[in-house]
A and B are shown apart, each in its own frame.
Chain A
Amino acid sequence: MNSSSVAQYILPVFVAMPLGGAFLIQLIKKISKGFCDIIANFILLLLLILSLSLLDNPLLVYKVGGWMPSKGIPIGIYLVLDGFSLLLLVIINMIGLISLIFSISYMKKFTNKPLYYTLFLLMIAGMNGVVLSGDLFNIYVFLEVAAIASYSLVAFGTEADELEAAFKYQVMGTVASAFILLGIIIIYSITGTLNLADVGRVLKDKVIEAPIILTGILFLVGFGLKGAMMPFHAWLPDAHPSAPAPISAMLSGVLIKAIGVYALVRIMFCSIGVTPLFADIMLVIAVVSMTAGVFLAFAQWDFKRLLAYHSISQMGYVMLGIWLMTPLGILGGLFHMLNHSVFKSLLFLNSGAVVYGTGSRQLKRLGGLNQKMPITGCTSFIASMSIAGVPPFNGFWSKLIIIMACIQSHHFSLAALAVLVSIMTLVSFLKVQKYVFFGEPKQELKDKKEVPFAMCFSMILLAFLCIIMGALLLPGVKELFIDPAVNTLVNGKEYISLVLK
């Protein structure tokens, strides 16, 4: 038995362990509440180590239940891990772990902490399932697991605002799921199979048939709603600020990527195939998200709401990179996805720390927190410079690559627009810094102090990642982590032969 055949047995663990942990926590919560903290954090730490241990593996396929393909046609459920899934897997478990460390202190003010951990782990299980799943229907099932957990987490505070946001989010999410399911049914009725690779094999010669165009539109609307792309974004600015801060970090840093962008890109690139028209439509959506998101963020005076609008804008960058369809663009897009998950979750954790320390998230009511909360102030400054694309930090490198890719593929106006949006992001975050952290503290903020250790620790960890992640582009490191993900998308159709062999 060689190493890759052993490694494939790790894949179901990514789904099974958080699922098991979620229900274990409900069982043991009567014995000790502190034990729940340890179990949840331990599971995420283990998953992060496991996902990092899979770094230099080739494509892994795990056939659930041992159902071998008959005559080259897959029958069972496949879990597939390639470079692109691995990138997402690392993001999910890394941000999940850091958010959980943050929650140890932050969630003390909520009454039912074990329930929070259960829902959190269910969400992780769902997202891990989405990125590992090798067939369409399992993508749908895991997506619903993650989505239902996230609806209840948005409503976790059970105040009027939270409930309203969660209801809105869930109505839109359910419509999105219906569209996705309809698309999956149509694909099944055309091809007679649900396995992504097998669908790709059957459809190889008939990319432009009318039902395929219809499914393309259905998936675009469905995953667009899940990923909050611009015409479908209305739930995000309500849902993200209403959730508890670590959940906002997870939703914005991970969820909209894993079940929105990842799922759409995976199905389109590796299975159904991208027509030039579809890529153009996605480019338009990306540019609209990028520009309109930053304009809407400009007018916000609520810290978390401002961050939520910037999420839409930054995901526009990610999609702009990926849907340029050039190797350089895909590199920039995926790298920005990784970077965005780090700095945006850091910013949301900062906003959580501000709310925890002062009880307010209105920019005009805050001020001078640099003196009272130095760690929060310092890390948020790093994150702000990172999201705005100021040179030494990670956001700069990925935006630079995306702009270079735009110029390389002769989209000069897009490149100019990307620079402009970046400048506006900088202005918007200077406003945040000025109103929240710089200057003299207001009279009512005089007695505030720094947040507890666990929260500081997770913020410092993310700030450190913001500073060093530019190094992932250095030759030697790049081949290990970023390049396999980029190659998966550049040679999208190779996926079919690799999985079916």
Chain B
Amino acid sequence: MIYFLCGLLLLVGLSGILLKRNLIKIVISLTIIEYSLFMFLAVVGYKQNALPPIVKSVTEEVNYVDPLPQAIVLTAIVIGLATTALLVALAVRIYEKYGTFDIREIRRLKG
């Protein structure tokens, strides 16, 4: 179920990038995509009735959660922060030059 919701969130973000005309809304859509991936990562690492992975004795068989996805999520969030900050900075500079956030009016380049 929750996998399905992550997928839905990803699609919401993707459609936002494709359909929205406002630079800031595009940035928000990108963040939504990133958050859907973070949630997906957290779900992948989830285990029912498991303990935090702090190993006290090697011999005892205990059900630990997987610590790796949590570490990865943390790194990915930091990278996402850097990306968003740079994008917003670019959007602000574009607004200074063009006087608009509308991508229909920001098309000096042909692609």
Interface of A with B (CB < 8 Å)?
137, 141, 144, 148, 151-152, 155, 158-161, 163-168, 170-171, 174-175, 177-178, 181-182, 185, 188-189, 192, 194, 234, 237-238, 242
Q: State in angstroms the CA–CA spacing of A81 and B84 once bound together.
A: 33
Knowing A137-B72, A171-B17, the reply to whether A185 touches B97 (Cβ < 8 A) is: no
Chain B residues, CB < 8 A from A192: 66
**Contact status B17-A144, CB under 8 Å:** no
Return the chain A residue nearest B23 by Cβ: A167
Chain B residues, CB < 8 A from A168: 109, 111
Q: How far is the CB of B40 from chain A (nearest CB, A)?
A: 6
Return the chain A residue nearest B3 by Cβ: A189
Q: How far is the CB of B90 from chain A (nearest CB, A)?
A: 5
**Contact status A144-B108, CB under 8 Å:** no
**Contact status B44-A238, CB under 8 Å:** no
Knowing A167-B87, A170-B86, the reply to whether A188 touches B109 (Cβ < 8 A) is: no
Knowing A163-B97, A237-B111, the reply to whether A178 touches B86 (Cβ < 8 A) is: no
Q: Which residues of B, 7-41, contact A by the 8 Å Cβ criterion?
A: 10, 14, 17, 23, 26, 30, 33-34, 37, 40-41
**Contact status A170-B87, CB under 8 Å:** yes
Knowing A167-B90, A182-B37, the reply to whether A174 touches B83 (Cβ < 8 A) is: yes
**Contact status A148-B90, CB under 8 Å:** no
Knowing A181-B37, A185-B40, the reply to whether A148 touches B83 (Cβ < 8 A) is: yes
Q: Could you list 14 examples of A-B contacts with CB < 8 Å? A: A155-B90, A155-B93, A160-B98, A160-B108, A164-B107, A171-B26, A174-B30, A174-B83, A177-B79, A177-B83, A181-B76, A185-B41, A194-B68, A242-B109
**Contact status A174-B82, CB under 8 Å:** no
Q: How far is the CB of A481 from chain B (nearest CB, A)?
A: 34
Q: State in angstroms the CA–CA spacing of A69 and B106 once bound together.
A: 53
Q: State in angstroms the CA–CA spacing of A238 and B44 once bound together.
A: 38
Q: Which residues of B, 63-89, contact A by the 8 Å Cβ criterion?
A: 66, 68-69, 72, 75-76, 79, 82-83, 86-87
The majority secondary structure among interface residues of chain A is: helix
Q: State in angstroms the CA–CA spacing of A103 and B79 once bound together.
A: 29
Q: State in angstroms the CA–CA spacing of A480 and B75 once bound together.
A: 38
* B5 in contact (CB, < 8 A): no
* Count of A-B residue pairs with CB < 8 Å: 89
Q: How far is the CB of B39 from chain A (nearest CB, A)?
A: 11
Q: How far is the CB of B20 from chain A (nearest CB, A)?
A: 11
**Contact status A178-B72, CB under 8 Å:** no
Contact of B75 (CB < 8 Å), options: A141, A158, A165: A141
**Contact status A148-B109, CB under 8 Å:** no
Q: How far is the CB of B101 from chain A (nearest CB, A)?
A: 11
Chain A residues, CB < 8 A from B50: none
* B62 in contact (CB, < 8 A): no
Q: How far is the CB of A298 from chain B (nearest CB, A)?
A: 15
**Contact status B111-A164, CB under 8 Å:** no
* B51 in contact (CB, < 8 A): no
Q: State in angstroms the CA–CA spacing of A326 and B26 once bound together.
A: 43
Chain B residues, CB < 8 A from A170: 83, 86-87, 90
**Contact status A188-B69, CB under 8 Å:** yes
**Contact status B34-A178, CB under 8 Å:** yes
Chain B residues, CB < 8 A from A144: 79, 82-83
Chain B residues, CB < 8 A from A194: 68
Q: State in angstroms the CA–CA spacing of A151 and B26 once bound together.
A: 17
Closest 6 CB pairs of A and B: A160-B97, A238-B109, A189-B44, A144-B79, A178-B33, A167-B90
